[in-house]
């Protein structure tokens, strides 16, 4: 059964080099897709949504690679606005799984996404009264919201924000100002040209005392004609590496007043006389960001990696270049070990992250419920998880996409391959919602703290109990097949993570000044946090595979991918594993042998494994990655539509002709 009807068809039909790959699948692609979706029912639902959107010309992205920044923005607004119509027309719900399917289908090339963050901020941080006032307005799009936190001078370090909100008891208003150029809000999405309102973060001052950063609802543009409100200067921050469709904005505020009721006050409040009252942790103000970090992982990091793998692996099964042995036919590049070593670990990573993402979402849904019930106990662990995994996943997905791009050689460099735009977009995920190094150090701080608490006999969250319970020892593996046993490689990861953390704890404790000691260990602390998250990812993959259905070959191929993910991590970080002698050089030879063997095994299922991600040709937008594998034909056809071939060549008459005819001097 073909997974989807909505695939482009070229007269050449299916490339036989792809057809043969699919015939050889060791498992049922359709069942794996259903498993990834969370059931066949969800797969059907998702496909119906994809079909509804892709068949509607309003959502076409056919010209995306030929558009200017202004054209991309306009198209993204058009899609966002018509999507609201479509959602109503189709009777889809705004908060169900459908939204997730729509986002995946539109690849995020849509405006007004910050509107949802605006609403979420109000829902999480607003009082019941604020929610009752603002959420219906936002739901009906009578206002368009944004989220104004980052400033020109401060990003990750929120305590350093310089925008001020001074309470004026006389008028019962807050006076908002960006008192210097570095205080200007800079980067907020949808703010440059679209939003009418925003949640703005500012240092709260009452009677001259600073109470730290708080969120305020602020109208920035007229609802009549969209002009900036008095005291507001707002615009677009200009061209970026990608996200050209998004109007990231700047915002200057000069004595802009908002009523007292506009400070979001579920957890704290300024009373009419200026008394500041707080319930619960101040850290809750950052919870929106914490949860956004987790919510973006799938669409902004894992799905792009899956797409890049789909494109690169299909292309590698079609592209033939050079020969494995003299006299043979030219080989598919996927048959070269070096190509397998580039692509297949990325494929394994995409699956590993699919499973850890499910785990993180479950953890956060539970945490969110606790917090709604004003139980903040899980906040430190949630924060450490969201920080560390956001960093680990975005980092690996970004480098994975880059590897896929480069693995397609010159054609990967053409925008028409779809790979450059995946890369220029995903790299932003390493920076936004918390810069990765800073995030990893926050995770490291949590780990060190937990390790010390556990050593002192105190209770720590289950995810970190291993830090104090693991006994060191030598790896018992004797044969390369031993490294296909999860208990063997899990133990190696566990030891490596424990050693990284415990060693640093000693270094930090031994320092005279604890801040100096910390600052001199940050390079190694960052590594330790990665080691911890990497270990948890491998462990979770092992557990997920154990829980999979054993039918139709799915568990078996997933076990191979899990092994590959684990062994690739060892193969790529040999030093960390050799360091304390748990593994020896002889073990590393076994790991290498097992790892290279696995490449050859998984290679056979590589195309079916990317088919199971079930991307339509339209959502891949790739001349290299289409289902039918007609790559050369498609490159040529798409290139002919480029403005470079459609709009003539004024440079000839102006410059080339005079040069060639030696009349330049007369110009």
Q: Which 44-73 residues touch a second copy, going by CB under 8 A?
A: 65-66, 68-70, 73
State the DSSP string of 581-632. SSS-HHHHHHHHHHHHHHHHHHHTTHHHHHHTT---HHHHT-TTT-TT--HH
Q: Is 150 in the site for a second copy (CB under 8 A)?
A: yes
| CB of residue 38 to a second copy, shortest distance in Å | 33
Tell me phi and psi for residue 393, to 5 degrees.
-70, -45
Specify the stretch interacting with a second copy by CB under 8 A; choose among 79-87, 302-310, 481-489, 543-551. Answer: 79-87
> CB-wise, 155 or 400, nearer to a second copy?
155
User: Is 150 known to sit in a ligand binding site?
Assistant: yes
Alpha helices (H) in 107-225, listed in sequence order: 114-125, 128-139
Q: Is 412 in the site for a second copy (CB under 8 A)?
A: yes
Q: Which 451-510 residues touch a second copy, going by CB under 8 A?
A: none
Q: Indicate which single residue of 18, 114, 143, 204 sits in contact with a second copy (rule: CB under 8 A).
A: 143
Q: Is 17 in the site for a second copy (CB under 8 A)?
A: no
- The catalytic residue among 433, 526, 543, 546 is 433
Site string (172-211) toward a second copy, x via CB under 8 A: ---------xx-x-xx----xxx-x---------------
| CB of residue 126 to a second copy, shortest distance in Å | 21
State the DSSP string of 44-106. HHHHHHHHHHHTSGGG--TTGGG--HHHHHHHHHHHHHHHHHHHHHHT--SSSHHHHHHHHHH
Specify the stretch interacting with a second copy by CB under 8 A; choose among 47-55, 324-332, 457-465, 535-543. Answer: 324-332
Q: Is 10 in the site for a second copy (CB under 8 A)?
A: no
- 4 by Cβ neighbours in 10 Å (0-12 / 13-18 / 19+) ranks as middle
> CB-wise, 469 or 644, nearer to a second copy?
644
SS3 letters across 92-133: CCCCCHHHHHHHHHHCCCCCCCHHHHHHHHHHHHCCHHHHHH
Half-sphere exposure (CA, 13 Å, Cβ side) for 406?
Answer: 10
| CB of residue 215 to a second copy, shortest distance in Å | 20
> CB-wise, 251 or 544, nearer to a second copy?
251
> CB-wise, 80 or 270, nearer to a second copy?
80
Count the residues of the shown chain that bind a second copy, applying the rule CB under 8 A: 134
Q: Indicate which single residue of 131, 415, 452, 470 sits in contact with a second copy (rule: CB under 8 A).
A: 415
From the list 17, 554, 29, the residue with the least C-alpha distance to 313 is 17
Q: Which 330-389 residues touch a second copy, going by CB under 8 A?
A: 330, 336-339, 341-342
Q: Which 617-656 residues touch a second copy, going by CB under 8 A?
A: 632-633, 635-636, 638-645, 647, 649-652, 654-656
| CB of residue 518 to a second copy, shortest distance in Å | 9
> CB-wise, 81 or 103, nearer to a second copy?
81
Specify the stretch interacting with a second copy by CB under 8 A; choose among 237-245, 260-268, 277-285, 484-492. Answer: 237-245
In whole angstroms, give the CA distance from residue 93 to residue 135. 16
Give strand pairing partners of 269: 277
Q: How many CB atoms lie within 10 A of CB 606?
A: 22
Handedness of CA 418, 423, 424, 426 (dihedral sign): positive
In whole angstroms, give the CA distance from residue 262 to residue 125. 11
CB proximity list for 113: less than 8 A, separation 6 or greater:
80, 189, 190, 246
Q: Which 538-577 residues touch a second copy, going by CB under 8 A?
A: 573-577
Specify the stretch interacting with a second copy by CB under 8 A; choose among 297-305, 376-384, 512-520, 561-569. Answer: 512-520
Say if CB 563 and CB 545 are below 8 A apart.
Answer: no
> CB-wise, 84 or 169, nearer to a second copy?
84
Q: How many CB atoms lie within 10 A of CB 225?
A: 6
In whole angstroms, give the CA distance from residue 343 to residue 338. 9
> CB-wise, 157 or 279, nearer to a second copy?
157
Q: Indicate which single residue of 95, 510, 547, 662 sits in contact with a second copy (rule: CB under 8 A).
A: 662
From the list 444, 189, 196, 441, the residue with the least C-alpha distance to 300 is 189
In whole angstroms, give the CA distance from residue 55 to residue 153. 44
Q: Is 430 in the site for a second copy (CB under 8 A)?
A: yes
> CB-wise, 388 or 608, nearer to a second copy?
388
| CB of residue 570 to a second copy, shortest distance in Å | 9
21 classed as catalytic? no
Q: Quick one: angle between helices 69-90 and 97-106, nearest 10?
A: 150
| CB of residue 7 to a second copy, shortest distance in Å | 21
SS3 label, residue 532: helix
| CB of residue 651 to a second copy, shortest distance in Å | 4
Q: Is 256 in the site for a second copy (CB under 8 A)?
A: no
Residues belonging to the binding site for FAD are: 150, 189
Residues belonging to the binding site are: 150, 189
Catalytic annotation, residues: 433
């Amino acid at each position: 059964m073909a997974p989807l009807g909505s695939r482009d068809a070229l007269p050449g039909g299916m490339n036989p080099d792809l057809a043969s790959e699919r015939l050889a699948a060791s498992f049922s692609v359709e069942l794996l897709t259903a498993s990834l979706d969370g059931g066949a029912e969800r797969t059907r639902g998702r496909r119906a949504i994809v079909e509804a959107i892709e068949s509607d010309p309003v959502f076409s992205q056919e010209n995306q690679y030929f558009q200017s920044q202004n054209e991309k923005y306009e198209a993204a607004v058009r899609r966002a606005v018509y999507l609201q119509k479509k959602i109503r027309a189709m009777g889809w719900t705004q908060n169900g799984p459908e939204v997730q399917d729509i986002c995946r289908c539109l690849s995020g090339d849509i405006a007004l996404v910050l509107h949802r963050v605006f609403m979420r901020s109000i829902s999480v941080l607003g009082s019941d009264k604020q929610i009752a006032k603002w959420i219906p307005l936002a739901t009906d799009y009578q206002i368009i919201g944004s989220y104004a936190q980052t400033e020109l001078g401060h990003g990750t370090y929120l305590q350093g924000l310089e925008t001020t909100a001074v309470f004026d008891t006389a008028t019962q208003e807050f006076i908002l100002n960006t008192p210097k150029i570095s205080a200007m809000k800079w980067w907020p999405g949808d703010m440059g040209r679209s939003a009418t309102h925003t949640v703005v973060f500012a240092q709260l001052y009452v009677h001259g005392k600073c109470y730290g950063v708080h969120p305020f609802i602020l109208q920035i543009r007229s609802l009549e004609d969209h002009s900036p409100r008095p005291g507001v200067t707002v615009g677009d921050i200009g061209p970026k590496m990608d996200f050209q469709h998004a109007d990231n904005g700047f915002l200057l505020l000069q004595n802009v007043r908002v009523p007292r009721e506009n400070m979001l006050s579920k957890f704290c409040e300024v009373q009419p006389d200026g008394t500041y009252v707080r319930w619960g942790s101040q850290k809750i103000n950052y919870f929106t960001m914490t949860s956004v970090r987790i919510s973006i992982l799938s669409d902004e990091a894992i799905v792009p990696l899956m797409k890049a793998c789909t494109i690169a692996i299909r292309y590698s099964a079609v592209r033939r270049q050079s020969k494995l042995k003299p006299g043979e036919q030219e080989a598919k590049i996927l048959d070269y070990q070096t190509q397998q070593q580039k692509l297949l670990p990325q494929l394994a990573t995409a699956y590993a992250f699919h499973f850890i993402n499910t785990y993180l979402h479950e953890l956060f849904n539970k945490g969110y419920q606790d917090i709604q019930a004003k139980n903040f106990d899980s906040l430190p662990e949630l924060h450490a998880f969201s920080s560390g995994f956001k960093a680990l996943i975005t980092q690996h997905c970004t480098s994975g996409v880059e590897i896929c791009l480069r693995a397609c050689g010159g054609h990967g460099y053409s925008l028409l391959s779809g790979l450059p735009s995946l890369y220029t977009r995903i790299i932003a995920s390493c920076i936004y919602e918390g810069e990765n190094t800073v995030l990893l150090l926050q995770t490291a701080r949590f780990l060190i703290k937990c390790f010390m608490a556990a050593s002192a006999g105190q209770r720590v969250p289950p995810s970190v109990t291993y830090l104090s319970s693991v006994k060191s020892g030598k790896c018992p593996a004797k044969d390369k097949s031993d490294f296909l046993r999860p208990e063997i490689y899990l133990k190696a990861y566990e030891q490596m993570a424990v050693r990284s953390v415990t060693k640093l704890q000693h270094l930090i404790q031994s320092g005279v000044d604890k801040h100096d000691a910390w600052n001199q260990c940050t390079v190694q602390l960052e590594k330790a946090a990665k080691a911890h998250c990497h270990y948890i990812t491998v462990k979770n993959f092992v557990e997920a595979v154990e829980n999979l259905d054993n039918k139709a070959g799915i568990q078996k191929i997933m076990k191979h991918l899990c092994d590959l993910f684990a062994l690739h991590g060892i193969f790529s970080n040999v030093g960390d594993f050799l360091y304390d002698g748990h593994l020896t050089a002889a073990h590393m030879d076994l790991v290498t042998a097992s790892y290279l063997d696995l490449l050859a095994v998984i290679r056979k299922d590589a195309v079916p494994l990317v088919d199971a991600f079930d991307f339509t040709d339209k959502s891949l937008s790739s001349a290299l990655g289409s289902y039918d594998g007609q790559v050369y034909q498609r490159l040529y056809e798409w290139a002919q539509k480029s403005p470079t071939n459609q709009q003539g060549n004024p440079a000839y008459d102006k410059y080339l002709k005079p040069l060639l005819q030696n009349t330049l001097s007369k110009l």
